[in-house]
Each structure stands twice: as C-alpha cells, then as structure tokens.
Amino acid sequence: MPAIECEGPLPANAFRIRQLPPGRVLAWLASGWRDMRAIGWPSYLHGLFVCLVGIALALLSLEASLLVLGLASAFVLVGPFLATGLYALSRRRERGSVGGLDIVVLAWRCAGRRLLAFNLLLLGAALAWVAISALLLGLFVNVETTSLPALLRYVLTQDSVHFLQWTVLGSLVAATVFACSVITIPLLMERDVSTRSAILTSVRTVSENPLTMVVWAICIAAATAASLATGMLGFILLYPLIGHASWHAYRDLAEIDDQELPQITDDQFENH
C-alpha cells in the first residue's frame, strides 16, 4: 500500500490555540454523547474492554495489595492511549459517515511511528508510577497487609503524612500526563507533526485555558470515580463518552490553518 507523502513536521507555533470558556466542556460532552449513540456498539466495545481490564487489575490487586493504588492511578494515565479507536470513529462521523470496527482496527494498524511512540511513552509512565507507588507504600506501610481492605483501612486511619505526600505526588504525575496528552493523540493521528510539537501544543492548550482544562479534568476524574464506584461497569458507558468528547475538545481547542499544515485525508489514512 502506498505510504503517505508528508511534508515534514511543523513546529508547535504553527498551531493557534483558542481560548474557550469552561461552559464549552458541556458542548464536548453533548457531541460525545451524540457520537456514541450514532456509532453504537463499536463505541461500547471500547468501554467493555476498559471495564474488563479494570476488573482484571482489581483482581490482581487482591493478590498484591501494595500495587492497588499505583494500578488505579496508572489505569487513568493510559486512558488517552486506549481511546485511539474512539477518536478515529468520531473523525469518520465528522466527515459524514458512521464507521465500524474496521475503522478502529485501521486506526491502530495505520498508526504512525510518532503516535506509537507517544502511546508507549504513556504506557511507560504508567508502569513507572506503579513501581514507584509500590515502593513508596512499602516504605511507609509499617504493618503487614495481606489483603486490599486491610491496606486501605491502614492508609485511611494512620496519622502519618506519608499518604498525603503520595497523593500530592500522584496528583502531580496525573496533572503532567494530562497536560501532555489532552489533545496530543488526536493531533498525532490526524496531522503530520512531530511528537514533540504535539506535546508542546497540548501543554500550550492547558496553559492558555487553565480554568476550562481544570473543569475538563474534573469531568474525567468524576467519570473515572463513578466507574470505579460501580465495580468498573460505569466504564462501558462513560469511557466512550469521554473518548468521543475528547475528540471534540481537540477540534474546538486547536485552530489549524490547512494551508500551513498538511492534513491526513481519509483516503491517505486508509492507504497508509
């Protein structure tokens, strides 16, 4: 199959970031909801997969209690990576047709090296945080915990500031990953840009829309918390909703002049 002829990556300043009010988050969610309902089962299949992965991680944590908090937060870090197929489905619907599972498979098969590299970077960050989290918990948990309830009971009732320090560190990691990835994957999927340019553009997006991005992060955190509270079942509905909404966030926030920046068309995407 012929390869896409790219003109080369452009620097991050080729993008203009729109400054949007926090209320735009509701529009992203509404658009995501419409995409999810129109696309149907391919969207819900993503949610089911995330639900099953979450259940598997929860079962693993029952056997290795020190991993539980790290696994829970790492699970959030790889969320944008797992949503690649949802971005492709929203992109296809935006162009006037409803895609199926073939578009999802195509999105992963045709992912360029830069997109794969960034996804691996997210995965590496998640695994590193699991290891660091387990090490920190092992240092400040001073009693033997043979089960997940025992670990949580100890963490929530002890007077030490170690757990607070762990929480602050975890929040900083999550905030950094959020800033670096909020529009990076859809941008890499659609445009011929370097990974560095895409990450810098994502960071600029957050820095120029701080309040809107805080509201968006709260929505993602609330959806994650609700899914965890329902024994992972909430992911079946909420994960594809957030994934599709993230595509519309990217579209709304990043203003790109097509005369400056080459766009990967549907035909090129399918022939890549």
Tens-digit pLDDT profile for residues 125-170: 777 777 777 777 666 666 555 555 666 666 666 656 666 777 787 7
Q: What's the rounded Cα separation, in Å, for the pair 158 and 55?
A: 28
pLDDT at 222 over 60: yes
Ranges assigned E (strand) in the chain: 15-17, 254-256
Q: What's the rounded Cα separation, in Å, for the pair 92 and 103?
A: 8
Q: Is 145 left (phi over 0), alpha (psi -120 to 50) or beta?
A: beta
State the amino acid at position 233 in one-letter form: L
Q: What's the rounded Cα separation, in Å, for the pair 120 and 114?
A: 10
pLDDT digits (tens, 9 = 90+) for 13-54: 567 899 999 999 999 999 999 999 999 999 999 999 989 988
Q: What's the rounded Cα separation, in Å, for the pair 148 and 58?
A: 9
Asked whether the beta carbons of 199 and 122 are under 8 A apart, the reply is no
Higher pLDDT, 265 or 34: 34
Place of tokens 């968006």: 216
Question: Residue 141 has which token pair?
Answer: 């948990």
Give Cα separations from 55 to 13, 21, 105, 221, 241 (angstroms). Answer: 42, 36, 24, 18, 20
Q: Provide the percentage of residues in the chain whose pLDDT is more than 90.
A: 31
Asked whether the beta carbons of 92 and 99 are under 8 A apart, the reply is yes
Asked whether the beta carbons of 211 and 22 are under 8 A apart, the reply is yes
Name the DSSP letter for residue 65: G
Question: Residue 189 has which token pair?
Answer: 């999927």
